[in-house]
RNA sequence: GGAGAGAUGUCCGAGUGGUCGAAGGAGCCGGACUCGAAAUCCGGUGUAGUGCUAUGCAUUACCGAGGGUUCGAAUCCCUCUCUCUCCGCCA
């Protein structure tokens, strides 16, 4: 969440930001509730001070009458306090919920716009792959080669689940290791994280585990959820902690399964592996000093480029429009790889995403560092995809397909695969 | 899964319902001593709020988390989380 003390001092900026993000947040009501809360807080604290004073008076030996009078006074204070406290708790809870709906501030250079198409393509790498034959999509390629099986995935687990088989398995493992090696070269500490996290962590990262539009699977009666990304488990790792300044930046990379409900996510553009309920992903995560987060955001993006350039896949980088930013993100860059089987003649499809969430998540999760003046301050937190295995496989199968139905393995992956082609 | 023990500040650790934001130690910061250092001695040293006559003063909350009992809770009761020990089961 943002710093609610800034609701008044940066009111116009916050209001404008909500408009730019096309969000439905009633800022004036939140400010009014904040004032109500402050008034009730003062009242509560004054009563508590009276209660404490009354209790102090009763420490020593007292004659029975004085003692009785003090107890009566204490009881009266207690009754009044419990009423005021109840009112305060109600408004406090409401205000906290409302404050959480306010999005993060936005980087001044982020393109302003409502939708996906308002996002700005800031870089193109390589030429979209062309074939002298009619290109197939990855579903057809994968099923023909018997490396992907959607039918049995649906039978056993349901719609949008799949099996990976045969050399497809080796391809996925090769990709994992290939990406891991590149990320490690840049000084990240590797993790395999839990695939489950507590709701409070989800909330702190900015995911809403509840509600009809939630993309999160919750596990009935446990207070926990299946993670949609290792961003959650890596970001929760230091929750509640004060990190010594000299430990920063902390760079982590985590492999996890990712589970997403994707309610209403069917259709042409999300077929096959592109949008599924479960996939594996290697995620990068950085905790750093506030003044360094823009720099590290660029570093994550450049590592993502290194991974996709190494695979020799054409892609573009998109600077995400304000209306498409998640609430925690201050700025977000996506890499969209060329996917020849997407749409009629191929299209770019998202394969990575990196966000600078500044101190928005750190404030909710209470993650701080001790500054030179001895005061704890909130760290900045950034995340980025190293490789989302399912989507990377879409891009590889479609770009490296051959007319005979076989798929050439990208040269960078051959040492990891132990073969250079998948054919029938 | 069963039985038991525990969770206190940066760390270790004491704590009989009121004199406890919390003994004692370590660490850290400042000072004295020293040519300098070590040792020693003296002083200081949590976090998050709120109010105001604002580099300060006052006040509230925080002893794993959340409830409860009480005039008053680190201390008593309940629930939960986590850690440790033993048993069972198991890749």
Spacing of A196 CA from B4 C1' in Å: 30
**Protein residue ranges contacting nucleic strand B, Cβ under 7 Å:** A 5, 38, 41-42, 44-46, 48-49, 51-55, 58-59, 70-71, 74-75, 77-78, 242, 368, 374-376
Spacing of A55 CA from B23 C1' in Å: 23
Has residue A207 got a pLDDT over 90? Answer: no
* Residue A106: predicted pLDDT: 95
Spacing of A250 CA from B38 C1' in Å: 36
* Residue A269: predicted pLDDT: 66
Q: Which nucleotide is nearest, taking the CA of residue A73 and each C1'?
A: B71
pTM: 0.91
Output A154 or A58, whichever has higher pLDDT. Answer: A154
Phi, psi of A338 (to 5 degrees): -70, 130
* Residue A264: predicted pLDDT: 61
Q: Which among A10, A73, A350, A406 is annotated as catalytic?
A: A350
* Residue A234: predicted pLDDT: 93
Q: Which nucleotide is nearest, taking the CA of residue A72 and each C1'?
A: B71
Has residue A266 got a pLDDT over 70? Answer: no
Residue whose Cα is closest to the C1' of B58: A49
The pLDDT mean for chain A works out to 90
* Residue A218: predicted pLDDT: 86
A122-136 pLDDT, tens per residue? 999 999 999 999 999
Answer yes or no: A275 catalytic.
Answer: yes
Q: Which nucleotide is nearest, taking the CA of residue A48 and each C1'?
A: B60
CA–CA gap between residue A250 and residue A369 (Å, rounded): 11
* Residue A296: predicted pLDDT: 97
Q: Which among A353, A355, A364, A390 is annotated as catalytic?
A: A353
The 3-class SS string of chain A reads: CCCCCHHHHCHHHHHHHHHHCCCCCCHHHHHHHHHHHHHHHHHHHHHHHHHHHHHHHCCCCCCHHHHHHHHHHHHHHHHHHHHHHHHHHHHHHHHHHHHHCCCCCCCCCCCCCCCHHHCEEEEEECCCCCCCCCCCCHHHHHHHCCCEEHHHHHHHCCCCCCEECHHHHHHHHHHHHHHHHHHHHCCCEEEECCCEEEHHHHHHHCCCCCCCCCCCCEECCCCEEECCCHHHHHHHCCCCCEEEHHHCCEEEEEEEEEECCCCCCCCHHHCHHHCCCEEEEEEEEEEECHHHHHHHHHHHHHHHHHHHHHCCCCEEEEECCHHHCCCCCCEEEEEEEEECCCCCCCEEEEEEEEEECCCHHHHHHCCEEECCCCCEEECEEEEEEEEEHHHHHHHHHHHCECCCCCEECCHHHHHHHCCCEECC
Residue whose Cα is closest to the C1' of B10: A242
Region A41-66 average pLDDT: 84
A224-234 pLDDT, tens per residue? 889 999 999 99
Has residue A8 got a pLDDT over 90? Answer: no
Has residue A252 got a pLDDT over 90? Answer: yes
Q: Which among A37, A260, A331, A368 is annotated as catalytic?
A: A260
* Residue A286: predicted pLDDT: 95
A361-403 pLDDT, tens per residue? 998 888 888 777 777 888 999 999 999 999 999 999 999 999 9
Has residue A168 got a pLDDT over 70? Answer: yes
Q: Is A264 exposed, middle or buried (0-12, 13-18, 19+ CB in 10 A)?
A: exposed
ipTM here: 0.82
Q: Hey, CA dihedral for A146, A151, A156, A162, is it positive or negative?
A: positive
A334-371 pLDDT, tens per residue? 999 999 998 888 999 999 999 999 999 998 888 888 77
Has residue A267 got a pLDDT over 70? Answer: no
Has residue A319 got a pLDDT over 90? Answer: yes
A63-97 pLDDT, tens per residue? 778 888 888 888 888 888 888 888 888 888 889 88
Contact A269, A248 (CB under 8 A): no
Spacing of A59 CA from B73 C1' in Å: 14
Contact A368, A380 (CB under 8 A): no
What percent of chain A has pLDDT above 70? 97
Has residue A268 got a pLDDT over 80? Answer: no
* Residue A90: predicted pLDDT: 87
Q: Which nucleotide is nearest, taking the CA of residue A70 and each C1'?
A: B71
Spacing of A49 CA from B58 C1' in Å: 11
Taking the mean position of all CA atoms in its chain, how far away is CA A26?
Answer: 24
Residue whose Cα is closest to the C1' of B59: A49
Within 10 A of A3 (CB to CB), how many other CB atoms are there? 13
Spacing of A304 CA from B67 C1' in Å: 48
Output A301 or A86, whichever has higher pLDDT. Answer: A301
CA–CA gap between residue A96 and residue A41 (Å, rounded): 14
Q: Which nucleotides of B are covered by protein (CB under 7 A)?
A: 10, 18-19, 47-51, 59-61, 71-72
Spacing of A241 CA from B14 C1' in Å: 26
Answer yes or no: A353 catalytic.
Answer: yes
Q: Which nucleotide is nearest, taking the CA of residue A41 and each C1'?
A: B50
Has residue A145 got a pLDDT over 90? Answer: yes
Spacing of A376 CA from B42 C1' in Å: 29
Contact A31, A43 (CB under 8 A): no
* Exposed e or buried b per residue across A93-106, where buried means at least 16 C-beta atoms within 10 angstroms of its C-beta: eebeebbbbbbbbb
Q: Which among A21, A331, A363, A391 is annotated as catalytic?
A: A391
Q: Which nucleotide is nearest, taking the CA of residue A363 and each C1'?
A: B48
Contact A392, A175 (CB under 8 A): yes
Best mean pLDDT range from A11-20, A174-183, A245-254: A174-183
Residue whose Cα is closest to the C1' of B61: A45
């Amino acid at each position: 969440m943002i710093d609610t003390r800034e609701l008044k001092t940066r009111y116009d900026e916050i209001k404008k930001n909500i408009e730019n993000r096309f969000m439905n947040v009633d800022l004036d009501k939140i400010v009014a509730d904040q004032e109500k809360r402050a008034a009730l807080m003062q009242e509560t604290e004054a009563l508590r001070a009276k209660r404490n004073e009354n209790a102090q008076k009763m420490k020593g030996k007292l004659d029975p009458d004085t003692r009785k009078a003090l107890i009566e006074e204490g009881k009266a204070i207690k009754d009044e306090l419990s009423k005021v406290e109840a009112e305060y708790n109600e408004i406090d809870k409401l205000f906290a919920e409302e404050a959480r709906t306010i999005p993060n501030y936005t980087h001044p250079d982020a393109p302003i716009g409502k939708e996906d198409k308002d996002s700005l393509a800031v870089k193109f790498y390589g030429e979209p792959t062309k074939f002298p034959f009619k290109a197939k999509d990855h579903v057809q390629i994968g099923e023909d080669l018997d490396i992907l099986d959607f039918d049995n995935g649906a039978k056993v687990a349901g719609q949008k689940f799949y099996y990976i088989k045969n050399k497809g398995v080796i391809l996925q493992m090769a990709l994992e290791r290939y990406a891991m090696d590149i990320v490690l070269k840049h000084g990240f500490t590797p993790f395999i994280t839990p695939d489950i996290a507590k709701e409070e962590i989800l909330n702190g990262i900015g995911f809403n585990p509840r509600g009809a539009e939630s993309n999160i699977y919750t596990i009935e009666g446990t207070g926990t959820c299946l993670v949609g990304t290792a961003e959650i488990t890596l970001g929760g790792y230091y929750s509640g902690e004060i990190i010594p300044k000299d430990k920063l930046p902390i760079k982590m990379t985590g492999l996890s399964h990712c589970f997403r409900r994707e309610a209403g996510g069917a259709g042409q553009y999300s077929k096959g592996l592109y949008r599924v309920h479960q996939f594996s992903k290697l995620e990068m995560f950085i905790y750093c000093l506030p003044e360094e987060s823009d720099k590290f955001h660029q570093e994550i993006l450049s590592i993502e480029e290194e991974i996709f350039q190494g695979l020799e896949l054409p892609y573009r980088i998109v600077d995400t429009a304000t209306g498409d930013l998640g609430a925690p993100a201050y700025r977000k860059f996506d890499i969209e790889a060329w996917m020849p089987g997407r749409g009629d003649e191929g299209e770019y499809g998202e394969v990575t995403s990196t966000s600078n969430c500044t101190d928005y998540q750190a404030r909710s999760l209470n993650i701080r560092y001790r500054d030179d003046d001895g005061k704890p301050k909130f760290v900045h937190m950034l995340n980025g995809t190293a490789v989302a295995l399912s989507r990377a496989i879409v891009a590889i199968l479609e770009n490296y397909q051959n007319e005979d139905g076989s798929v050439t393995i990208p040269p960078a992956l051959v040492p990891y695969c132990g073969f250079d082609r998948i054919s029938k």
